[in-house]
Structure 1
Amino acid sequence: MAFSKSKSKSKSKTYTKPGTTFSINGWDPEMAALIELPNFFEIPGWRDHDIPLPPDPDETEMEIRDLLAKQQQIRSDPSMWLVRKAEIEAEANDDAFYMRRLVSLTPSGSSGATDVLIDAMFHLGFIVVATYKKKFMRLRPSQIEPKLRPLLPVPHHPAYPSGHALQYLLIAKALSTVIHNDELGIELFRIARRVAENREWAGLHYASDTVGSEHLALALFPAVTEAYRDTFQNAAREWI
């Protein structure tokens, strides 16, 4: 039996007309997250927030003893070792994966602007914490106590305040502002605190580094919402 081949009509390609502007929705989220960053640095006072000073040598010694106890506990408990170590390694290499997964299913079906908000807080926290680390210049725990064996390579910058803690707390606060869901908000902050604690269990940070970041995130946030107004509004539309 012979089959006749139907001739398909060739469709002409449609190109964007000259003079059309690039759609804001077409931006790569990493790049879009930087658009409003300059606004933040135009707001005075962001360098000068009063956060607690790092503890004195006696208190630092107590914190190091606590880290040594954590080190002993995690290495003597196989189940804790597997869980904590996996989390610590994932959190060192990702960009808020656990939080992204939690908020990926928005009411609108789109999460692009929410991703931009997460990226924006991640970048901002990284830059701001460098300024405060330079101010306090606190040694890492393992620089003081050679018995500490950090689970990850020790970052080549000061300890106080904790960068991971600040980044994740800013993300949690930002997402909670736009999603208006108490249960999700509680879980976001639980993740942020878990990440901060994991940096302590890893031997990279003192507990007071986390406390400093908690104070800094709270102090920064009014300026954050002012500087990133469009970023917050775009993300909020996905949660209506």
Structure 2
Amino acid sequence: MAGNMGDMGDMGDMGDMGDTGNSGGSSGGGVGRLPDRIDLPFVTERASEVWAYDSGAKKWTQTGTDVSLTDIRVDIAQWLETDWAAKWKAWLILADFAKTGWATTIDLTGVLWLPANQARELQDLIRAAEDERADALGEILAQHTSYADFMAYFVLLLKITPRTHPKTFLLMHIAGIVGILVSMYFKQNPGGGRYPRARPSQICPALMPPVAIPGHPSFPSGHATQSMLMALCLSEASKNRKDAAGNKGVWAPLLQGLSRRIARNREIAGLHFASDSTAGFELARQTFAALLAVPSFKKVLDDATTDEWS
């Protein structure tokens, strides 16, 4: 599977996914980057005729005209809600979430790492590097840079596009950036009197991860937090979908299983301890519960559930 995942070359409507709006494409407007002529840009064009189809009469009508395209104006009073790119609209929900006092209500002291277990955790990572890294390398590289990288795996699993499921894409972007906020805070402030945790490869350099070591502490795992928060949002949105036996929630184990695989890949890479992943999953659960109290998030979730997964 990993061999062809590197550049996601066949993603179609995914574009680069970072700036995709409701229609896909790199700018949120449904297309990618297009070249224009240097000497004769589109603004120099004139319209000489317009064809219109009368569906009642079932015939075409040709109207002659001679107008410069630069003289045409569209009657639009303001930016349209549907023109928002999901990546940027998600920041509005993040702003609402940031006002809720989440930093004092979320508590990771129940999943703090145990210093006495660190030597065993390191040995587990050494064994994973020896036994699993070569096989997992393709996924490790493909999922490394940003949440959009592993978001692509959820998109492939669900077989959706920004055009068919715009609100679902917005949910994933919300999970991505909210996950960044909460994980960065708890990386610096893990609680229980603990210091920011060193990366495994800082303690055991021979682990030598195959990717650049991120410039922030190890605990909790950001990939685990973001991917599980994504999975929880998607699980809730798709909760009414049934399996072959008629049981609801068919997507939840698939989505959350994918999150665990993403987090495990970070361990195999030597970037995280297993306890970092465990804490990331717990952080995602508490964050999701806190998000449900944010009206703007709840509306996006409800709309996605009703409009795209009912």
TM-score normalised over the length of structure 2? 0.67
Aligned position for 1:98: 153
Query: Which consecutive aligned stretches of 4+ in structure 1 deviate over 3 angstroms post-superposition?
Result: 10-16, 45-48
Confirm or deny: 8 A CA contact 1:67 1:206 kept in the other structure: yes
Q: Distance in 1 between matches of 2:188 and 2:143?
A: 23
Q: Distance in 2 between matches of 1:86 and 1:95?
A: 12
Aligned position for 2:214: 155
Say whether residues 1:190 and 2:257 are aligned partners. Answer: yes
Displacement of 1:102: 2.5
Confirm or deny: 8 A CA contact 2:197 2:218 kept in the other structure: yes
Displacement of 1:8: 5.5
Confirm or deny: 8 A CA contact 2:179 2:222 kept in the other structure: yes
Q: Distance in 1 between matches of 2:102 and 2:237?
A: 25
Q: Distance in 2 between matches of 1:29 and 1:22?
A: 14
Displacement of 1:114: 1.0
Which secondary structure state, in structure 2, belongs to the residue aligned with residue 203 of structure 1? coil
Confirm or deny: 8 A CA contact 1:133 1:160 kept in the other structure: yes
Q: 53-62 or 171-180, which moves further after superposition?
A: 53-62
**CA, structure 1 residues 105+10, in 2 after alignment: closer, same or farther (shift >3 Å)?**
farther
Aligned letter for 1:35? L
Say whether residues 1:232 and 2:301 are aligned partners. Answer: yes
Aligned position for 1:3: none
Q: Distance in 2 between matches of 1:207 and 1:183?
A: 27
Could you say which structure has the higher helix fraction? 1
Displacement of 1:154: 0.9
Aligned letter for 1:224? L
Confirm or deny: 8 A CA contact 2:197 2:217 kept in the other structure: yes
**CA, structure 1 residues 223+55, in 2 after alignment: closer, same or farther (shift >3 Å)?**
closer
Aligned position for 1:216: 283
Confirm or deny: 8 A CA contact 2:113 2:276 kept in the other structure: no
Confirm or deny: 8 A CA contact 1:121 1:171 kept in the other structure: yes
Q: Distance in 2 between matches of 1:40 and 1:190?
A: 26
Displacement of 1:128: 1.0
**CA, structure 1 residues 9+47, in 2 after alignment: closer, same or farther (shift >3 Å)?**
farther
TM-score normalised over the length of structure 1? 0.86
Displacement of 1:238: 1.7
Structure 1: which 5+ residue stretches go unaligned? Answer: 1-5, 76-80
Q: Distance in 1 between matches of 2:159 and 2:131?
A: 35
Match of 2:235 among 154, 165, 176: 176
Aligned letter for 1:239? W
Q: Distance in 2 between matches of 1:11 and 1:212?
A: 66
Displacement of 1:153: 1.2
Say whether residues 1:40 and 2:109 are aligned partners. Answer: no
The structure, 1 or 2, with the larger RCO (C-alpha pairs under 8 Å, 6+ apart) is 1
Structure 2: which 5+ residue stretches go unaligned? Answer: 1-50, 52-61, 191-195, 242-248
CA RMSD of aligned residues (A): 2.3
Confirm or deny: 8 A CA contact 1:162 1:205 kept in the other structure: yes
Aligned position for 2:202: 143
CA offsets, 1:39-95, max 9 Å, x none?
1122124344221353333211110011111111135xxxxx24x111111111315
Q: Distance in 2 between matches of 1:55 and 1:124?
A: 23
Could you say which structure has the higher strand fraction? 2
Q: Distance in 2 between matches of 1:53 and 1:186?
A: 22
Aligned position for 1:17: 75
Q: Distance in 1 between matches of 2:182 and 2:122?
A: 26
